[in-house]
A and B are shown apart, each in its own frame.
Chain A
Amino acid sequence: MARFVLERLLGMVLTLFLVSIMVYFIMELPPGDYADRFAFRKYSGTGVTVTEAMIEEIRRDLGLDRPAYLRYFDWISGIVLRGDFGMAYSFLTPVTNVLGDKVWLTLGLLFATLLITYAVSIPIGIYAAVRRGSAADYGLTVFSYLGLALPNFLLALIMLYCANRWFGASVGGLFSPQFENAPWSLAKVWDLVKHLWLPAFVLAWSAVAYQLQTVRATMSDELNKLSVVAARARGVPETRLLVKYPARLAINPVVSTIGFDVNRIFSELPIVAAVLGLTELGDLLLKAYLDLDMNVAGAILLMLTTIIVVMNFVSDLLLGWLDPRIRMGA
């Protein structure tokens, strides 16, 4: 088991290293560099004409004239050693200030979404497989097709519309106005929970639709396995049989795709955030891209991806714990 964990851990570090290169590449992609944008920002509206020389000076001051691999090294070592993601030019403050507690908000949203996804898709998927061919099964299949086809921003708009209709205008966003800038307190946390369900529901929607199909398909497969027939032939009572034999194995593919679900959720996050007016990383990422504030964008992209990679690792561990064949490397 120790070896198993160590192997996965090493793999994770290597992946993160490659990811950081990829993210840096994306940060460098837009035409112009930080110095251009910084100068533009600093002098715009001041009446000063920005000259090429001034930009060149900023560039030299910030060390932007050095080769790309050195700048990458600066960037990544700043992050790893000092937790420093550089400056956010559009806010003229370090990126970490801009991010603030948004990382925690995003994580909260993520776990709320995952919770909804699994609490809904696993039991219902199992039910659909056991009742295969029934009206309920048919309805669920139709739902999951629709669920996968509905663009999330559309769902977000529909939900927002319904929520506005039935619950008044306070839905949307992550906080009520009076808590927006208040320090953390129990009341604020409760306010957050009250706001979280709507975005979590929207984000969980397609993940549910997807996992529902996975669980149903694996469960159907497992139900026909000889091991299930053999257990039945030993007189194991039916309900217990379903839980212990096929259902236990039917959640394996779900566990192994946790990282994939997180990826899917983060993928939808910026757009859903834009529609629902959420103030967390997804929203900030979109704004950063539109402003070409690449230090912020890169930091967020790196964070989101790191969370995915870590969740992949967690999923590997869980799977190893659930399945002795994987744990023992068979």
Chain B
Amino acid sequence: MDRLLSVENLSISFRTDEGPITPVQGVSFGVDRGRTLGIVGESGSGKSVSTKALMRLLPGSASLSPETRMRYRAKNGETVAIETLKPRDRALRRLRGGEIGMIFQEPMASFSPVYSIGNQMIETIRLHRGLGGRAARDLAVEMLAKVGISSPETRVDQYPHEMSGGMRQRAMIALALSAGPALLIADEPTTALDVTIQAQVLDLMRDLQRDLGMAMIFITHDLGVIAQIADEVAVMYLGTIVERGPTREVIRRPLHPYTRGLLEAIPAIDRLDARLKPVPGDIPSPSQRPSGCPFRTRCPEAVPGLCDRAAPRETAVGEGRAVRCHLHDAARAAA
């Protein structure tokens, strides 16, 4: 396997007015070249901060734990230790944009309103591809065409506010891809769009990924989307990965109660009459992390005396699969 990125023991803490909080604890995952990793979890589970840590985009109030290891295999064959990069390093600048591209949830806010789409694309192309003037502009137009924007020659000079939401998200994708990254991080790229546009953008991303041979980390809170796009999936809950593995297997045979809950919450055409079962309860805030297993407060199968005592460890289950649950461990021990 050709590992492009591997993350081990990622823990992130924030200094806040109410004291320190640690919304991400001991997260490990990896992405292979040309493959897609889906990260799924409810709002506040720490998906965005984890990926921001990969690009060193966290604010000054954030700190990584010393055990954190993030290794990235660059295009030139060198391995970059992301956690050791200094803010002004050239390597960090190359990594941002040139190696890893990023798309955010709100396409409107990701563009600066006072520059044209083209201006922001050409800036990126100049920085990472060493192209100037005419050539950079041509490439920008080409990228816009590639993401399915009609009459890209005129669109390139338009401002973000002149575009519709779907078009802006396409432009955002073009912007991220214009520097030719080997890995694209898409943080809920479709949540702000309406359903039909969502499907189009999703299709577009899948096609682009195949054509460009890019790897991708796709963040969403919708397992249905994951099923369409991801090769592997990691399920996050309250700052830890509770289950991960190949998408098909995880969906077919979920091992963690939380994953099962998420699956039951997906509406399906053939079960329209059945009531949806959302996962009960609310996700606790990181400052009030339950003792023991973080999910125990909402888990229908929690065992008193076991789940509230110690946090479960991650247990490998077959090739590339792992789960973090006392019940599973107990069942295995019994077997």
Contact = CB atoms under 8 A, between A and B. Distances in A.
A235 B112 contact: no
Interface stretch (A7-15, A16-24, A221-229): A221-229
A233 B127 contact: no
A248 B110 contact: no
A233 B88 CA distance: 13
Given A233-B96, A234-B124, A325 B161 contact: yes
A234 B96 contact: yes
B222 interface: no
A229 B57 contact: yes
Size range of the chain B interface in the assembly: 35 or more
B162 interface: yes
Interface in B79-135: 87-88, 93-98, 101-102, 104, 106, 109-116, 120, 123-124, 127-128
A231 B112 contact: yes
A226 B109 contact: yes
Size range of the chain A interface in the assembly: 20 to 34
A235 B161 contact: no
Contact of A234 (B87, B159, B161, B175): B175
A233 B97 contact: yes
A230 B173 CA distance: 12
B179 A234 contact: yes
Interface string A229-258: 111111111100000110011000000000
Given A235-B127, A328-B159, A230 B114 contact: no
Nearest to A222: B112
B55 interface: yes
Given A233-B97, A235-B96, 17 more contacts: A226-B104, A226-B110, A227-B109, A229-B52, A229-B57, A229-B104, A230-B110, A230-B111, A233-B55, A233-B101, A234-B97, A235-B128, A235-B179, A236-B124, A237-B93, A244-B112, A248-B114
Interface of A: 224-227, 229-238, 244-245, 248-249, 322-325, 328, 330
17 contacts: A226-B106, A229-B52, A229-B57, A229-B104, A230-B110, A231-B120, A232-B57, A233-B97, A234-B102, A234-B124, A235-B94, A236-B124, A238-B87, A248-B114, A325-B159, A328-B159, A330-B162
Interface of B: 52, 55, 57, 59, 87-88, 93-98, 101-102, 104, 106, 109-116, 120, 123-124, 127-128, 159, 161-162, 175-176, 179
